[in-house]
Structure 1
Amino acid sequence: MKLKITEPQFRVGFILVTTLFFMWGLSYGLVDVLNKHFQEALHITKAQSGLVQAAYFGAYFVIALPAGLYINKKGYKAGIILGLSLYAIGALLFVPAASVMTFGFFLFALFVLALGLGCLETAANPYSSALGSPETAEQRLNLSQSFNGLGQFFGPLIGGLFFFNEGSNPGSEGLGAVTYTYIGIALIVFILIILFIKTQLPDLRENEAKLDAENAKTNNASLWSHAEFKFGVLTQLVYVGAQVGVGAFFINLVVETWPASSSKTGAYFLSIAMLAFLVGRFVSTGIMSKISASRLLMVYAIVNTVLCVLILSGMQYISVIAAISVFFFMSIMFPTIFAMGVKNLGSKTKIGSSFMIMAIVGGAIMPYFMGKIADHYGTHMAYVLPLICFIAVILYAANYKKMTTTNNTVNSALT
């Protein structure tokens, strides 16, 4: 019998929660454009612009565990409302940041905004994957994350259209456009807060209790007894570093390796890359019904390793085309690693999710070091770091079945 993505009783909750994936995808899509925009408007180096990602993804590390504890006590809905509130506050902080015109204030605004997104991801990722049968958890989360990809597509499109207004002063007009964009985002977020307050979401505690009982029978009740979870967190750490790094300097790569291009051109190319990411999510969700999630993850990571080698060549046109292709094959990685890592945790899913979200700190670390390499050797050479990260993803995917089998064998022996 073919398993459904989700059941009728969970459908409204699943649709509403999926809107959140679009919203934080939109925010993330804008961040990579802000990286290049701040280089021009505030006259900072590539390494300094890497602090944009450091502030953004560093907030995930700070908020993830407190958010998990809060959600564990108050529930998924309360966590979502808290996250949306912080998201709106951070977006509105762009108004005074533009008035002060300091890089530090913009970083603070992004940090507060990302605190909200970290809270949302801690709640929405496990909630989406749990709204149905465990057998379809990876497909369900990948479907929700497909709308995240849609948001990431529109982000650089909006940024390219408004932030890089050629022929004008990027410091004044460009940052004004940034401000109005984030005010618009804040208004949308306020509407979502109202919708979530008024909507009754499914309570999953009964389902979690059943899984807890099964784990207790096999002495697999401890969070850290799950090898697939422990190594999943480590893999997520390096993968997110790769994803963020690939996007952070994508526009620089275009400017340096695509003849007669500009930052605005690079932003539009980034939109194409995000479109590839979006298409990859939808297409791969369908493929996942035929091929196991771990095997597909391994194949995609192998392809991306090869594509990073092509980027390192620095060849005109080829490097950019390879970088765009990387986005397609990255499409399933975050949600698949996430779902593979937390699917068997029961009521500990919320805390396990916190550690998975904390692993996003890899995105705060990677851009600075890629920026250092880019400043000295050219942007294309910085892609050696994502290459190493994709090799780590290959190892996790290749050993996933063995990890889950070992867990079951050991726990069966103990009972």
Structure 2
Amino acid sequence: MGLAQFFKSRSLRAKDDQRTNAAELTLKQSIFPICLVTVLFFLWGFSYGLLDTLNSHFQNTLGITQARSAGLQAAYFGAYPIASLGHANWILRHYGYRATFIWGLCIGALVAFPCIKAHSFGGFCAAIFIIGNGLGSLETAANPYITVCGPPRYSEIRINLAQAFNGIGTVVAPVMASYIFFAELSSEAAALANVQYVYIAIACFVFLLACVFFMARIPEITDADMAFQANESEANADSKPFRKQYRLFHATFAQFCYTGAQIAIAGYFINYVKATRPGTPDSESSVLLAGAQAAFSIGRFIGSGIMKYVRPRWVFLAFLSFCIVFVAPAITQRGNIGISMLFVTLFFESICFPTIVALGVRGLGRHTKRGSGFIVGGVSGGALVPPILGLVADKRGTGFAMIVPLMFFIAAETYAIAVNFVPSYRDSADAFSNTEIGLRPATGTDEETAKAADAQNEKTAVSENESQ
């Protein structure tokens, strides 16, 4: 195979108007692409876990306020809508999923350059903004890809299992950070250098991963594939213009509110521990955060198992309701009781984000790629809510400030209620839970159907000639 033919065989442009075998992938066929994309989930979970620890780290080393330290979250999650509604979504709609994966990884690799030059909090915010663009690009493609790669009936289970490895990344990162970021160092410059080396290593890894995605042959799921699934499952959202996809916009609102609350709690978890249990060392607080993130990861595995037997929309409603129930006592309780309430809250947060994605894109058909960009753009709530919590914490204390995520959880609950009790929401969600796509013999691609039709026409013509 020549070099030109090699690159041609790995073209990154998908033909969105043609249905492919990806429309009816079986469980077995979907294993390899799902495993490969799951590596991306671990990657941005690891990066996010470092971010929560860096928040407290910079408060200590640079002497900044809790409100100002939220600039890290603002830079990180503020970049998400720029990617999910802008450059990444354009690449996804015009080229495809694999091209978007490579694009996001390459942007992430660029973080090495500002990290090398960064000698201030502002410099690291700029580096984090680049990471946010890269990971926002990955989420724009990876979340819907996992959702649609395989039998639609199991979409919520797939994305929650993949996101469980994202949770493992958030566990590993704080543990590592407790030894690197909070080590006894001789100077502020040495502390900043430690952070630089970590992100440069991440940049090298993601560049190599981009090369792997270029070489790999994974199914490219097209708009025609999504339209086929929507029609076969009798979910009628595909027939409406994009501006009338009201369920999608409600899911985006819920994602904005929920993610803002989740990021605020995780971002100020270490501050909460130190404020409500005075004398706790930074390294121990970081390990406690890792423990809470472990509960978060375990929740995703358990939630995925429950979804095998209970409709995902019911599991989502129960888990989000328990988030409200357990974060409320953390406002007034102190010490181990308050910390325990946050542990349980993180456990029940586990399945909320991925389930909103899966339920939100159900039935969108040809609008799936564009719609997923809106839901992922809802992650920008993580840029708004933490600074609000930080301002309240500076004035009234970190414990009382937990009232902020409580209010945003309640706002997100409106979608969980709607998807269970409003018929237009519920019927669309259940249509995909009942479909047999991917579990029955495939009907064939557009190309295969056309070839079969041509062969039948040729056979008919030959028969007519022989009869004459």
Which category describes the TM-score, using the shorter chain as reference length? over 0.9
Aligned to 1:48: 68
Aligned to 1:24: 44
Question: What's the offset of the Cα at 1:382?
Answer: 1.0
Change (3 A) 1:406 1:202: closer
Superposed, which structure 2 residues align to 1:104-119 within 5 Å?
104-119=122-137
Aligned to 1:269: 288
How many Å separate the matches in 1 of 2:235 and 2:338? Answer: 51
3-state DSSP of counterpart to 2:110: helix
Query: Larger radius of gyration, structure 1 or 2?
Result: 2
> Are the counterparts in 2 of residues 309 and 387 from structure 1 also a CA contact under 8 Å?
yes
Alignment-mate amino acid for residue 190 of structure 2: E
How many Å separate the matches in 1 of 2:187 and 2:321? Answer: 40
How many Å separate the matches in 2 of 1:296 and 1:406? Answer: 15
Question: What's the offset of the Cα at 1:113?
Answer: 1.1
Alignment-mate amino acid for residue 26 of structure 1: F
Change (3 A) 1:209 1:294: closer
Alignment-mate amino acid for residue 75 of structure 1: G
3-state DSSP of counterpart to 1:291: coil
3-state DSSP of counterpart to 1:132: coil
Aligned to 2:165: 147
How many Å separate the matches in 1 of 2:52 and 2:339? Answer: 16
Aligned to 1:163: 181
3-state DSSP of counterpart to 2:386: helix
Aligned to 1:412: none
Aligned to 1:102: 120
Question: What's the offset of the Cα at 1:92?
Answer: 4.2
Match of 1:194 among 205, 211, 223: 211
3-state DSSP of counterpart to 1:11: helix
Aligned to 2:34: 14
> Are the counterparts in 1 of residues 30 and 150 from structure 2 also a CA contact under 8 Å?
yes
Question: What's the offset of the Cα at 1:406?
Answer: 6.3
State the TM-score, normalized to the length of structure 2.
0.82
> Are the counterparts in 1 of residues 270 and 285 from structure 2 also a CA contact under 8 Å?
yes
How many Å separate the matches in 2 of 1:148 and 1:234? Answer: 22
How many Å separate the matches in 1 of 2:176 and 2:284? Answer: 13
Match of 2:142 among 117, 124, 127: 124
Question: What's the offset of the Cα at 1:324?
Answer: 1.4
Q: More displaced, 37-46 or 216-225?
A: 216-225
Q: More displaced, 200-209 or 18-27?
A: 200-209
User: Per-residue CA shift, 1:326-364, capped at 9, x if unaligned?
Assistant: 111000010001110012111211110110111111000
Change (3 A) 1:117 1:6: farther
Over the aligned positions, Cα root-mean-square deviation in angstroms equals 2.0
Say whether residues 1:135 and 2:153 are aligned partners: yes
Q: More displaced, 132-141 or 200-209?
A: 200-209
Question: What's the offset of the Cα at 1:260?
Answer: 2.6
User: Per-residue CA shift, 1:339-396, capped at 9, x if unaligned?
Assistant: 1001211121111011011111100001111001100111011110111122223221
Aligned to 1:231: 250
**Contiguous gaps of at least 5 residues in structure 1:** 410-415
Change (3 A) 1:323 1:137: same
Change (3 A) 1:87 1:378: same
Q: More displaced, 223-232 or 380-389?
A: 223-232
Aligned to 1:93: 114
> Are the counterparts in 2 of residues 91 and 182 from structure 1 also a CA contact under 8 Å?
yes
How many Å separate the matches in 1 of 2:315 and 2:58? Answer: 37
Match of 2:96 among 41, 65, 75: 75
> Are the counterparts in 2 of residues 224 and 230 from structure 1 also a CA contact under 8 Å?
no
> Are the counterparts in 2 of residues 252 and 379 from structure 1 also a CA contact under 8 Å?
yes
Alignment-mate amino acid for residue 215 of structure 2: K
Change (3 A) 1:406 1:354: closer
> Are the counterparts in 1 of residues 98 and 220 from structure 2 also a CA contact under 8 Å?
no
How many Å separate the matches in 2 of 1:218 and 1:393? Answer: 22
**Contiguous gaps of at least 5 residues in structure 2:** 1-23, 429-468
Question: What's the offset of the Cα at 1:304?
Answer: 1.4
3-state DSSP of counterpart to 2:399: helix
Matched pairs, number: 402
Superposed, which structure 2 residues align to 1:13-412 within 5 Å?
13-66=33-86, 67-97=88-118, 101-166=119-184, 168-169=185-186, 171-205=188-222, 206-211=224-229, 220-403=239-422, 405=424
State the TM-score, normalized to the length of structure 1.
0.92
Question: What's the offset of the Cα at 1:209?
Answer: 3.5
> Are the counterparts in 2 of residues 94 and 106 from structure 1 also a CA contact under 8 Å?
yes
Alignment-mate amino acid for residue 95 of structure 1: I
* Identity within the alignment, %: 37
> Are the counterparts in 2 of residues 122 and 353 from structure 1 also a CA contact under 8 Å?
yes
Question: What's the offset of the Cα at 1:263?
Answer: 1.6
Q: More displaced, 20-29 or 172-181?
A: 172-181
> Are the counterparts in 2 of residues 142 and 335 from structure 1 also a CA contact under 8 Å?
yes
How many Å separate the matches in 1 of 2:274 and 2:186? Answer: 20
